[in-house]
Amino acid sequence: MTANTGQRTLGMVLKGYPRISETFISNEIRLLEEMGFKIHIYSMRAPRENFSHESIAAIKAGVTYLPSSMLLGLPALLYHNARLFARMPRRYLDCLKLMKQRFRLAPKKHTWVKHMLQAGYIMQKSVLDDGVDLGHLHGHFAHTPTTVTMYAAFLADVPFSFTAHAKDIYTQDPRRIEDKVERARFVVTCTRYNEQYLREHVANGNPIHCVYHGINLDLFSPGDRRPEAEPPYHILTVARFVEKKGLDTVLRALAKLRAEGLEFRYTLVGEGKAKFNRRIRNLINELGLDDVTTLPGTITHDEVIRLLNDADCFTLGCRKAKDGDRDGIPNVVAEAMATGVPVAATDVSGVPELVTHEQTGLLCPSNDPDALAAIIRRILTDDELRRAIIPAAVDRAHAVFNNKKLIRDLGAIYKSHGVPCGE
């Protein structure tokens, strides 16, 4: 990072740090630091995994972990907020009024009190006590991290912005996002699909920018991989075990293919809450896929890359969940394409922005195991199609998902809105 004397800090408010499933955020922070931004991370909870990606070690930003429990963390939250109130009573009361205005839109009232207290903790403990000279705050995800960001920015009297991703957009009352968009200096989102939704549902004239997450293309290459595949084919899925990933659709498609005599082995990387984990394992058993399925759980990014290098097809069954949640563009789709692994997926949300049917992959409607089975079979067995799709997909990933280029675009957006940078 560029050395700067007296440079003001860009504060990043995250749900958790580091998180195995959010490589794109850690990569973003690392690359922004390389551009000259001085960053301090505010994590709303401690890490839940006992390991992290190697890229985390390259990040220079300091980290403040906010008390995450209203039970165990309440003494610290109350202590620092009481001190802050004594120091700036009028501004603190004004922030309480802001919270009260938004209170009627809150589904869980107690969490909004916690978010206000966490914002006060940032201001007193980090800014006033520890001397972090905030010049701007940015929240990743439009729900709770941006709520904390908004209150902390109000208390610190600095502008804020946020990045809206997927679930955070589609599972909360649009009025809550609209209020945040109105107060933010600018908003970033990661797909054109999201951008269109935000403009149609919460547009109020404030800038909304679309910047794809991107991937580190230095890590992904088809190498000397042959485009043709041979049975038993290796089919790969990497996904959190949640409804929107459509894993049941994938498993039913695979059961159909096996009944038709297709020889394959299947690796399903990821996990979720205990209830969903059990449901997936039970479905694998019911469909008779136990002997061809490997479940490695949550693994490192390097291990995912090794699996991609061995895979013949990557598949996902993304869908719109009952609560409205849906994917943006799963980064692992771009990673598969860049590695030369052809993708068979559903045409949900932003996925078609990267995967063009019969050009850079194959797509089908969601919730249709027969249709997914058909495109998986086709992408495994049609050698002519593979020879056309694989190089086109590699080119597409390089053209639109290069994180080194995209971070320059993002950095330019930050600087255009006055976010302090050392360059």
> Torsion over CA of 73, 79, 85 and 88, rounded to 10 degrees?
-100
Q: Three-state DSSP class for 351?
A: helix
Place of tokens 């899925």: 237
**Which of 45-59, 127-141, 395-409 is least confident?**
45-59
Spatial distance between the Cα atoms of 417 and 187, rounded to a whole number of angstroms: 11
- Cα angle vertex 92, ends 91, 97, to 5°? 95
- What residues form DSSP beta bridges with 161? 138, 186
Helices (H), strands (E): how many in the chain? 15, 13
- 9-214+402-416 folds as Rossmann fold (3.40.50)
Spatial distance between the Cα atoms of 302 and 306, rounded to a whole number of angstroms: 6
**Which pLDDT belongs to residue 106?**
63
User: For residues 192 and 207, is the Cβ–Cβ distance under 8 A?
Assistant: no
Spatial distance between the Cα atoms of 387 and 288, rounded to a whole number of angstroms: 32
Residue 1 pLDDT exceeds 50: no
Residue 263 pLDDT exceeds 80: yes
Name the band, by pLDDT with cuts 50, 70 and 90, for residue 19: confident
**Which of 40-54, 153-167, 378-392, 404-418 is least confident?**
40-54
Residue 256 pLDDT exceeds 80: yes
| Class of the CATH-defined domain 217-400 | alpha beta
Spatial distance between the Cα atoms of 361 and 379, rounded to a whole number of angstroms: 8
User: For residues 66 and 147, is the Cβ–Cβ distance under 8 A?
Assistant: no
Higher pLDDT, 2 or 180: 180
Spatial distance between the Cα atoms of 415 and 63, rounded to a whole number of angstroms: 23
Residue 35 pLDDT exceeds 50: yes
* Max avg pLDDT among 13-17, 50-54, 257-261, 296-300: 257-261
- What are the structural domain ranges in the chain? 9-214+402-416, 217-400
User: For residues 420 and 135, is the Cβ–Cβ distance under 8 A?
Assistant: yes
Place of tokens 């580091």: 18
Q: pTM score > 0.85 for this model?
A: yes
Give the residue-averaged pLDDT of 64-68. Answer: 95
Question: What is the amino acid identity at position 157?
Answer: D
* Max avg pLDDT among 163-172, 219-228, 260-269: 260-269
Widest pairwise Cα distance in the chain: 73
Percent of the chain residues past pLDDT 70, beyond the cut: 94
Task: Look up residue 235 and give its two tokens.
Answer: 């089919």
Across the chain, mean pLDDT equals 92
Give the residue-averaged pLDDT of 363-370. Answer: 98
Q: Do domains 9-214+402-416 and 217-400 have the same CATH topology?
A: yes
**Which pLDDT belongs to residue 51?**
56
Give the residue-averaged pLDDT of 163-189. Answer: 91
